[in-house]
Amino acid sequence: MAILVCGGAGYIGSHINKELSRRGYETVIFDNLVYGHREAVKWGSFILGDLKNPNEINGVFEKYPIEAVMHFAAYAYVGESVLDPEKYYFNNVANTLNLLRAMRTHGCDKIIFSSTCATYGEPERVPITEDMPQRPINPYGASKLMIERILKDYGAAYGLKYAVLRYFNAAGADPEGEIGEDHDPETHLIPLVLDAASGKRPDIKVFGTDYPTRDGSCVRDYIHVTDLADAHIRALKYLQNGGESDCFNLGNEKGTSVLEVIDAVRRVTGKDFKVTLTDRRPGDPAALVGSSEKAKRVLGWEPKYADVETIVRHAAKWRKYKDE
């Protein structure tokens, strides 16, 4: 039996594919390569296809014995989702319905779904626990929350088993340097600061210095992508062992400010660079920190690379390799 990784050519999906393969799972990667990279699929079988085409995803289930699905295929630019919500609702929500229908047709009843802390919107307090209200403030977060709801309804009606994993800020790269973060356009903090350190960008802009945080910049919970990968495999085993469908936060339970990330990049690279203090970016909550107590308790998960300097070091190694 194989594990189908939808969106397995992307940043998070490719790291999960590596981890699954390393642990002896057969994988089938289904990706339209709109944002994914063919060269990031170094393990398993690759199928070029799009979830918007039911025949393409059905074809995968006809060809391979799929035991479970891990679903990462989604657009994930918050700002773009505000400007073009239709793109997000069609791709993230409607296309997921095609995947779920193909799973039902072929009797596949397990899915690990890539969700996000963006489903919580502005939290009332941190650390955020899974039972706190989910009130997304942008279409991206709303699209993920809609799928969470769909999974719940399909679970009740059709017996679908699911694990919803709500990531905080995925960061870092494969410690062995085989794969890493490669977005185009890049909007994430750590790769942008690394680009400022290497001189590829003239500066790093700090979006907002007047937040009610310890240094005025936004606080986020950065979680290593390889630790995320480990959690996915634990969630898969949990479902295989008859665990109840559930939702889990995945973060380090530790907030790091934008200025602290910049300091970590200075320490790791030994380079100084220009830091420009600018206005807030619309839609950014002041602080997002997750409680992962449930994932630890139920899945036995424990992040191995919790230190932000380690996360930055792995990201820097990958970025350097990519630039050479």
Residues marked active site are found at: 140
Q: Which stretch binds ligand UDP (CB under 6 A): 26-34, 202-210, 239-247, 311-319?
A: 202-210
Give whole-number Cα distances, 51 to 2, 32, 130, 195, 210, in Å: 18, 8, 29, 33, 42
Residue 322 Cβ, how far from ligand UDP at the closest point, in Å? 18
Radius of gyration of the chain (CA): 19
Question: Closest separation between CB of residue 223 and ligand UDP, Å?
Answer: 11
- Supply 68's token pair: 């479970």
* Minimum CB distance to ligand UDP, residue 315 (Å): 11
Q: Is 262 in the site for ligand UDP (CB under 6 A)?
A: no
- Looking up tokens 């596949």 gives 108
Binding mask 34-63 for ligand UDP (x = CB under 6 A): ------------------------------
List of residues 6+ apart from 71 with CB closer than 8 A = 6, 7, 96, 99, 111, 112, 113, 114
281 is an interface residue for ligand UDP by CB under 6 A: yes
Q: Which of 178, 284, 293, 307 binds ligand UDP (CB under 6 A)?
A: 284
Identify how many contiguous H helices and E strands the chain contains and give both numbers.
Answer: 11, 14
How would you classify the pairing of strands 219-220 and 256-257?
Answer: antiparallel
For ligand UDP, which is the closer residue by CB, 68 or 189?
A: 189
Collapsed DSSP state (helix, strand, coil) of residue 28: strand
Residue 204 CB, nearest approach to ligand UDP (Å): 6
Is residue 189 part of the contact set for ligand UDP (CB under 6 A)?
Answer: yes
Q: Does 122 participate in binding ligand UDP (rule CB under 6 A)?
A: no
| 169: contact with ligand UDP by CB under 6 A | yes
Q: Which two tokens stand for residue 235?
A: 């969630």
Closer residue to ligand UDP, CB minimum distance, 3 or 204 = 204
Please, what is the minimum distance in Å from the beta carbon of residue 65 to ligand UDP? Answer: 36
Residue 201 makes contact with ligand UDP by CB under 6 A: no
Q: Which position among 188, 201, 271, 296 is part of the footprint of ligand UDP (CB under 6 A)?
A: 188
Q: Is 128 helix (H, G, I), strand (E, B) or coil?
A: strand
- The DSSP result for 51-105, as a single string, is TT-HHHHHHHHHHS-EEEEEE------HHHHHH-HHHHIIIIIIHHHHHHHHHHH
Residue 265 main-chain phi, psi, to 5 deg: -65, -40
Piece in contact with ligand UDP (CB under 6 A), picked from 20-28, 57-65, 185-193, 302-310? 185-193
158 burial level (CB within 10 Å; 0-12, 13-18, 19+): exposed
Q: Is 263 in the site for ligand UDP (CB under 6 A)?
A: no
Cβ neighbors of 24 (< 8 A, separation 6 or more) are none
Does the protein bind ligand UDP through residue 99 (CB under 6 A)? no
Among residues 51, 57, 173, 218, the one that binds ligand UDP under rule CB under 6 A: 218
Which phi and psi angles does 273 have, rounded to 5°?
A: -160, 170
* Closest residue to ligand UDP in the complex (CB): 218
Check binding of 81 to ligand UDP (CB under 6 A).
no
Out of 16, 258, 287, 299, point to the residue binding ligand UDP (CB under 6 A): 258
Measure the CA dihedral 229/234/239/243, to 10°.
Answer: -140
Among 99, 142, 206, 268, binds ligand UDP (CB under 6 A): 206
Q: Which residues bind ligand UDP (CB under 6 A)?
A: 78, 169, 187-189, 192, 204-207, 218, 220, 258, 281, 284
